[in-house]
Every structure is written in C-alpha cells, then in structure tokens.
Amino acid sequence: MKAVLSFVAGLVFALGLGVGGMLLPEKVLGFLDVAGAWDPALAGVMAGGIAVMAVAWRVFARLPHPLVETRVCVPDRDRPIDGRLLAGAVIFGVGWGLGGYCPGPAIVSLVTRMPAVLAHVAGMIVGVVTFVVVRRFAQAAVQTSAADG
C-alpha cells in the first residue's frame, strides 16, 4: 500500500510540475529575471502549492497518526540559521538560476534525455557527492584534533 501511495504521489507531483511549467527552463529563468522580461506565471504555481499545503497541514494535524508512516518529520523551529544552511541555500539558488531546473523538475525531466537535463542532474550528483566527501573529511579532522588535544 505504501509503495502504491508513494508512486501516486510522485506521479501527481510530476504531472503538476509539467502542467505548471516547471519543466521548462526558459519559463523558470523568465520568472527569475525580475529585472528584465519577468514572467510572473510561476508565482501562481507557488501560490497554488502553498494553498494546498496550508489546507493539508490543517487536515493532517487532526489525524491520530500518519496514513502510511509511523511518525511525521517536522523541521525543528528552534534550530538556528547557520552557515551550512545559508551555503546550501546559495548553492541551490545558483544551480536553479544557472540551469533553470529545481532538483524535482530536473529529475522528472530526465525522461526527455536532453543533454542539458542530463548535465544538470550530473552536476547535482557531483555536488551531493562532493558535499558528503568534504563533510567526512571535516568530521575526521575534528575528531583527530579532539584526540590530539
């Protein structure tokens, strides 16, 4: 049951991205070009997503437990905004602005097999792997320093 619901949710998400124009990099870049030929159409897509989630949060908050999981993961409101969060936001924004693809639409657009999409997703993968490797080296360096101190 969980697999079927996950598949349906993914399919609805992918279709929504397509209908909303999020799979068209020129549409996304037009939305991001606020100083030039700005295309405000994606603001409607965002407003629709926010509206749906506002209702969903209210409905699901009343349920005694999640439908297919044992618990709900909600971000910690007390967690400070730190350098790691800001760096990730900047990297995400630059990647989105340069390629015209957000990670979700990029994955969905892989079915087109267009070279630009393949390059963008390859760049995402390289970024994730680089982050993991750098984090491991940093953690190892901290542990070595602690052991030496």
pLDDT at 148 over 80: no
* Tally of domains in the chain: 1
Domain limits at 75?
A: 2-148
pLDDT digits 0-9 by tens, 115-133: 888 998 998 899 889 989 9
**In this predicted structure, what is the pLDDT of residue 149?**
63
pTM of the model: 0.68
Average pLDDT over residues 34-50: 88
For the residues 9-29, what does the mean pLDDT come to? 86
- Paired tokens of 9: 């949710």
Q: How confident is the model over 62-108, as pLDDT tens digits?
A: 888 887 888 777 777 788 888 888 988 888 888 888 888 888 888 88
pLDDT of residue 129: 93
